[in-house]
Amino acid sequence: MSRLDGGELLARTLAKGGVKEVFALHGGHLEAFLQGCVHNNIRLTDTRHEAAAGHAADGYARVTGEIGVCTVTAGPGFANVIPAIVNAYLDGVPTLFLIGAPPLREAETNPLQGGFDQIAMAAPVAKWAHRITNAERIPDLTAQAIRIARNGRPGPVVLELPIDILHMPVDPKIVAAPTGLDVRTHPAPSADEVTALIQFLRKAERPAIFAGGGSRFANAAKELRQFAELTGIPVFVNSRGYGLLPNDHRLFGKDVSNLAALGMMGGEGPDAVLILGARLGLFAGGRGGKIIPANARIAQVDIDAGEIGRLMSPEVAASADVAETLRAMIDEGAHLNWPNWSTWAAKAVSLKNGHAMLFGGVDEQTPMHPYAAAREVMKALGRDKICVLDGGEAGAWAQMHVEVDEPGRLLGHGYLGCLGIGPGMAIGAQRAFPDKRVVLVTGDGAVGFHIQEFDTMVRHGLPVLTIILNNRAWGMSIHGQEAMYGRNAHVITELADTNYHTVAQAFGCYGERVDRLQDVGTAVERALASGKPACLNIMVDREAVHPITTMLMDAGEGNKTVIPYYENIAAQ
């Protein structure tokens, strides 16, 4: 029988809150909790690096829409997981990080893996960070952490559990109840806001909807599709909005950046944009008006009022849950005569595969072009998959070809731009959906961050397919250097021609090197047929530059100081 101690109370509370998976790396501080997970049927997936465990919890949350849980030990364990906490914070992903700590009773004694304030370090990048100091308070404080992570704008919560608190026997009579575990808030817009949003759209000539992570975590796919079909308004997304509409839907325009292509091809962009749970920033064109025209009217719906009015001033705003807002708009708009926007909508969505026009003839290229290689990979995998994208240009090449029909089926970089997220996220996604094919597309630079996670995939029987687009360089970096300083200005951006697939084989994976475009599809088939975690090392042309790198560099803009990845500085 399990004894009632802090670790048991923590595991019981998580189980009561519906947690079935915890991602971890062992540490002695956690021992009581790890045993509690066994007693309460919570599966533990242990990785080889704490950051990978954190990214796995993040990935699990993204694909399921539920909270992801990670536990790591004190000191270096906590320090290693900080990038995952920050990543979840910037992308608004509901995650719970359970951190070990030295005994409270040994404070200021220079204890092992202590001597610094973990909560103070975590607080700026967490929705809430708290040190639990009494074992009997573990249930109610853990419940509070789960409520905070899930509700409002989702995000990471950090709980520190000192080892003496986790191992402390507890009298059941004094244990605080885990209240509010099932609380889910869905704030609705006011009636006036709903009417104003509808009027905003009805007077537009070329309206568009831009949906993002706030729509995904509101589980608003059904409502978004219904509203789009009711009104005939085309829908564009950021990477976290993939799957909110099926890829082939007549009103799905895919990436919001496609709005910029309308203008570049001599057409008119949208004159009104309804932003649904998507943030304005670099990935939506920043302050330059290159994606959402500077003269376009905008309306914003976001559960986080702080995002409303960022970079552009909205004509109409509602701080509310996206799904609730769409339901209200559907109810009010169902009996209205909406304008006929069919010609505009067809034109707006026609460019979602326009990238093919940029890369005609690349199939004949040797070495193979990464655009063509990524296309053949996605073609061989089919539609029913979960895609995890890592690296700089590698993930961007793959995203051009990603087609998914459900939310949470594309995972990638957000505003942290953290390389190495891929293996952990793929592990989390495969744990969440063991019967779905999970593919990780990464670069030869990014794969080196957590290459040891091939071992995790093998030990836990997770048949993740890792695709490395290997150009023997830090692609975005080396191409940026060339754009700024010329062809011979390479500084710490070249990599060796490494056989990463043999590293994967050494861990027990299926591995194969692919040098010819015509062999990519069959190599994917062989990797899938192996039934193992697999790695395909696909050798691609280092000279191929992704358009996103050119866009982020903007090096040919005239008399300005070029600032890589950010706004250039105008000459004074």
- Please give the positions annotated as active site: 29, 50, 113, 417
6 within 8 A of 135, measured Cβ to Cβ: yes
Q: What is the 3-state secondary structure (H, E, C) of 157-200?
A: EEEEEEHHHHHCECCHHHCCCCCCCCCCCCCCCCHHHHHHHHHH
The CA dihedral of 29, 31, 32, 37, to the nearest 10 degrees, is 130
455 within 8 A of 121, measured Cβ to Cβ: no
ω before 102 within 30° of 0 (cis)? no
Give the neighbor-by-neighbor strand order of the sheet with 21-24.
43-46, 21-24, 68-72, 95-101, 156-162, 128-131
Sign of the Cα torsion 317, 322, 323, 324 reads negative
DSSP letter for each residue of 362-419: GGG-SSBPHHHHHHHHHHHH-SSEEEEE-TTHHHHHHHTT---SSTT-EE---TT--T
CA pair distance 435, 244, nearest whole angstrom: 21
50 within 8 A of 72, measured Cβ to Cβ: yes
Calculate helix-pair angle for 422-432, 50-64, nearest 10 degrees. 50
DSSP letter for each residue of 320-365: S-HHHHHHHHHHHHTTS-----HHHHHHHHTTTTGGGGGGTTGGG-
Radius of gyration of the chain (CA): 24
Calculate helix-pair angle for 221-231, 322-333, nearest 10 degrees. 30
Nearest 5°: the CA angle 239, 447, 429 is: 50
**Cα–Cα distances in Å, from 548 out to 210, 483, 558, 561?**
20, 13, 19, 19
Q: What are phi and psi of 40, to 5 degrees?
A: -110, 20
CA pair distance 351, 254, nearest whole angstrom: 9
Sign of the Cα torsion 42, 48, 54, 56 reads negative
CB-based contacts of 493, cutoff 8 Å, min separation 6: 473, 474, 477, 478, 481
Sign of the Cα torsion 512, 517, 522, 527 reads positive
CA pair distance 239, 139, nearest whole angstrom: 36
CA pair distance 443, 211, nearest whole angstrom: 28
